[in-house]
Structure 1
Amino acid sequence: MTIKITGTGSYIPADIERNEDFHNHEFLNSDGSTIKAPSEVIVKKFKAITGIKERRYAKPHFTTSDIATFAAEKALKKANISGETLDYIIVAHNYGDIKHDSIQSDTVPSIASRVKHLLRIENPKCVAYDLLFGCPGWIQGVIQAEAFIKSGIAKKCLVIGAETLSRILDPSDRDSMIYSDGAGAVVLEASEQKGGILAHEAATFSLEEAHFIFFGETYNPKVDDNRCYIKMHGRKIYEFALTNVPLAMKSCLDKSGIDISKLKKILIHQANEKMDEAIVKRFYELYNMDMPDGIMPMSIGKLGNSSVATVPTLFDLILNEKMEGQAINEGDIIMFASVGAGMNINAIVYEV
C-alpha cells in the first residue's frame, strides 16, 4: 500500500496588490523612527531581495475558512470523491478567521469544522481539526494524514493550507509587503499504485529560535491601536534557514533511498526568492553538486508569501499546467520543503 495525492485544488484571490501600491506608505523602523529613504527606493530594494512584485488579497467578505473551502471543493472534485467519504479534514493555518477591519481572530469553532460545515458534510466520523505549525503547517498535515492512513484508521484525508495574512499587516512595517492570502488543498488516499510518500522529516527549534516570528504592536507610535501584527527578525530567520533547512532536506532524501539525480522538482515554501534559492543551492552543495536549472519553481513573484498555502498552491498550479516552463509528470520524484514560525522545518519526498 502507498499513500498518494489523488486530487489537488487551490484558490488564488482576485485582488492584486502591486508594489507601486506601497509607494505612499510611511515605513518605520521597529523603534518608530522613519526609515531614511523614499518609499520608492525601499520598495525597489524589497523587490530585489524577495522577488515579489505583486501579491493577492482576499475580498473583504471572505475569511480563511471561506477560501479554504474553495480550494477543498476543487481537490475533492479532482479526486472524484464525495466529502462524506473523508475520514479526516486537517486545516493548517496560523491566524484563524479574521474579518476585514476586525481586531480579533476567531478560532471557535475550528477552521476545519467551519470548512466541513461549508462543504455540507454530514458524516460525524469525518474528524475535522486545525493544525498550527507556522508556514510548514500544510506539509505537517500531509505527514499526519500519511500516519493515519498507514496505521489503518483512515483511508481518505483532506489536507488544506489557508491564510489571510492581509488582515494582520502593519502598514508601517516594510515586511508587510511580503505577505498575501491564498489556499491550497489535497486529497490523500491509500493506493495500490507505486510511489506516493517515500519519506518525511520534521523538526522544531525553539530554545533560542521560538520567537523569530511573533505577534507585535505597530511600529507607528502615532496610532492608538490595540491590534497585534505579524512581525519577524528577518536576518535571524535567513541565517537559521540556510543552516538548518538544507540539512533537513538531505536527511529526508537520504531516508527515501532516492539518488539526488532523480529529483525532478523542489517545491519549497515561497518565503523569499533569494533565501529559497540559497537554501536549495546549499542543499545541492551537500552532495557536491550545482543546483540544476528549473529545479525550483517559484510563484512568489506574483502571489507573494501566503504561508501554509504556498506549497500546495504551487503544486496545484504546476499539475494544471498554469506555470510556464514547469511540469510534473507521473513517476517524477519531487520534494516538498518548508520553514516557518516555531521555528519549524519539514520536508517530504514524493513520487507522483
Structure 2
Amino acid sequence: MSIKITGVGSFIPGLKRKNSDFLKHEFRNNDGSHFPHNNEVTIEKFKAITGIEERRYLEENLCTSDMATVAAQNALEDSGIDPETLDYIIVAHNYGDVKNGSIQSDSVPSLATRVKHNLRIKNPKCVGYDVLFGCPGWIEAVIQAQAFMRAGMAKKCLVIGAEALSRVVDKHDRDSMIFSDGSGAVVLEVTSEEGGILAHESATFAYQEAHHIYFGASNHSEAANDTRYIKMNGRKIYEFALTEVPAAMKTCLENSGKTISDVKKIFIHQANEKMDDAIIHRFYKLHKTPMPPNVMPMSIQELGNSSVATVPTLLDLVIKGKIEGQELHRGDVIMFASVGAGMNINAIVYQY
C-alpha cells in the first residue's frame, strides 16, 4: 500500500501588485519612527533579500474559502474521482475568511465545511475540518491525511492550503510587501503503486520561539489601536530556520530510506528567496554534498508568500509545466518542507 497524490490544483488570484505599487506607502519601523531612506531604496533592498518582484491579491468580492473551493475543484478534476467518495476534506489556513474592508476573521463554520458546501457534496461521512499550523499547515494536513489512510480510516482525502494575507497586513510595515494570497490543493489516495509518501517529520518550537510571528498593532501610532496585523521578527526567524529546517529535512530523508543523491526536487515554502536558498544549501552541507543546480523550484518572484498555499501551488505549477526548466518524472524522489508561525517546521519525502 502507498499513499499518492492523484490530483493537483491551484487558484492564483488575478490582481497583480508590483513593487512599484508600494512607492507611495508610508513605511515605518516597529517603534513608529520613519525609515532613514526613501521608498525606492527600501524596495530595492527588499527585492534583493526576498526576490519578490510582484505578488497576487484576492479580488474584493472573494474570500479564502472561495479560493480554496476553486483549487479543490481543479484538483478533483485532475484526479478524476467522484467528490462523493472523499473521506476527508482538510483545509489549512490561519486567518479564516476576512472580507475586504473588514478586520474580523470568520471561521464558523470551518473553511472545510464551506468548501464541502460549495462543492455540493452530500455524503455526511465526508468529514471536513481545518488545520491552523502556520505556514507549514498544508504539509501538516497532508501528514494527518496519510495517517488516517495508513490507519484504515480513509482511502481518499482532499487537502487544501488557502490564505488571503493581503487582508491582514499593516500597510505601514515593510514586511507587508512579502505577503500575498492564493490556494493549492491535492487529492490523496491509497493505491497499490510504489512510491508516494515515504517519510515525514514535524516539530513545534514554542519554549522561546512561539512569538516570532504574531498579531500586533500597526507601526503607525495614529492607526486604529484595536486593529491587529500579521507581524514577524525576521532576523530571529531567519536564524531559527537555518538551523532547524535543514536538520528536520535530514532526519526525514534518513527515515525514508533514500539518500541525498536520490532527491530530484525540493518544494520549500516560498517565504524569502535568500532564506530558502540558505536552508537548502545548509541541508546539502549536512550531507557534505554541494547543492545541485535546478533542485529548488521557485515562484516567490511573481507570487510572493501566500503562507500555506505556496507549496501546493508550486507543486501544481511544476506538474502542469508552468515554471520554465522545472519538471517531474515518474519515480522522482522529492521533498516538501516548511517553516512558520508556532514556530512549526515539517518535511515530507515523496516518490512521484
In which range does the TM-score fall when normalised by the shorter chain?
over 0.9
- 1:92-129 Cα offsets, whole Å, 9 max, x none, are 00000000000100010001000000001110000000
Work out the CA distance in 1 between the residues paired with 2:40 and 2:23.
5
Counterpart in the other structure of 2:347: 347
Q: What is the SS of the residue equivalent to 2:157?
A: strand
Q: Aligned partner of 2:137: which letter?
A: G
Q: Aligned partner of 1:184: which letter?
A: G
- 1:46-99 Cα offsets, whole Å, 9 max, x none, are 000000000000100110000000000000001101211100000000000000
Counterpart in the other structure of 2:80: 80
Work out the CA distance in 1 between the residues paired with 2:50 and 2:219.
21
User: Is residue 136 of structure 1 aligned with residue 148 of structure 2?
Assistant: no
Write out aligned runs for 1:295-334 (5 A): 295-334=295-334
Q: Aligned partner of 1:2: which letter?
A: S
In the TM superposition, residue 305 of structure 1 has moved relative to its aligned partner by 0.1
Q: Aligned partner of 1:235: which letter?
A: R
Q: Aligned partner of 2:301: which letter?
A: G
Q: Aligned partner of 2:236: which letter?
A: K
Provide the aligned C-alpha RMSD in A: 0.5
In the TM superposition, residue 32 of structure 1 has moved relative to its aligned partner by 0.7
Q: Aligned partner of 1:119: which letter?
A: L
Counterpart in the other structure of 1:259: 259
Counterpart in the other structure of 1:9: 9
Q: Structure 1 runs of 4+ off > 4 angstroms? A: none
In the TM superposition, residue 316 of structure 1 has moved relative to its aligned partner by 0.4
Work out the CA distance in 2 between the residues paired with 1:20 and 1:36.
19
1:103–1:226 contact (8 Å) kept in structure 2: no
Write out aligned runs for 1:104-143 (5 A): 104-143=104-143
Write out aligned runs for 1:163-202 (5 A): 163-202=163-202
Counterpart in the other structure of 2:287: 287
Counterpart in the other structure of 2:60: 60
Q: What is the SS of the residue equivalent to 1:193?
A: coil
Work out the CA distance in 1 between the residues paired with 2:2 and 2:164.
33
Q: Which runs of 5 or more structure 2 residues have no equivalent in the other structure?
A: none
Counterpart in the other structure of 2:157: 157
Work out the CA distance in 2 between the residues paired with 1:165 and 1:225.
20
Write out aligned runs for 1:203-222 (5 A): 203-222=203-222
Q: What is the SS of the residue equivalent to 1:295?
A: coil
- 1:247-290 Cα offsets, whole Å, 9 max, x none, are 00000000001011010000000000000000000000001111
In the TM superposition, residue 329 of structure 1 has moved relative to its aligned partner by 1.1
Change (3 A) 1:225 1:59: farther
- 1:224-248 Cα offsets, whole Å, 9 max, x none, are 3522100000000000000100000
Q: What is the SS of the residue equivalent to 2:139?
A: helix
Q: What is the SS of the residue equivalent to 1:231?
A: strand
Work out the CA distance in 2 between the residues paired with 1:122 and 1:225.
44
User: Is residue 244 of structure 1 aligned with residue 244 of structure 2?
Assistant: yes
Q: Aligned partner of 1:282: which letter?
A: R
Write out aligned runs for 1:28-43 (5 A): 28-43=28-43
Work out the CA distance in 2 between the residues paired with 1:40 and 1:24.
10
Work out the CA distance in 1 between the residues paired with 2:20 and 2:222.
24
Counterpart in the other structure of 2:338: 338
Q: What is the SS of the residue equivalent to 1:283?
A: helix
Q: What is the SS of the residue equivalent to 1:235?
A: helix
Work out the CA distance in 2 between the residues paired with 1:304 and 1:253.
28
Q: Aligned partner of 2:318: which letter?
A: I
User: Is residue 92 of structure 1 aligned with residue 97 of structure 2?
Assistant: no
Work out the CA distance in 2 between the residues paired with 1:343 and 1:281.
21
TM-score, with length taken from structure 2: 0.99
Work out the CA distance in 1 between the residues paired with 2:24 and 2:6.
45
Q: What is the SS of the residue equivalent to 1:163?
A: strand
Work out the CA distance in 2 between the residues paired with 1:228 and 1:70.
29
TM-score, with length taken from structure 1: 0.99
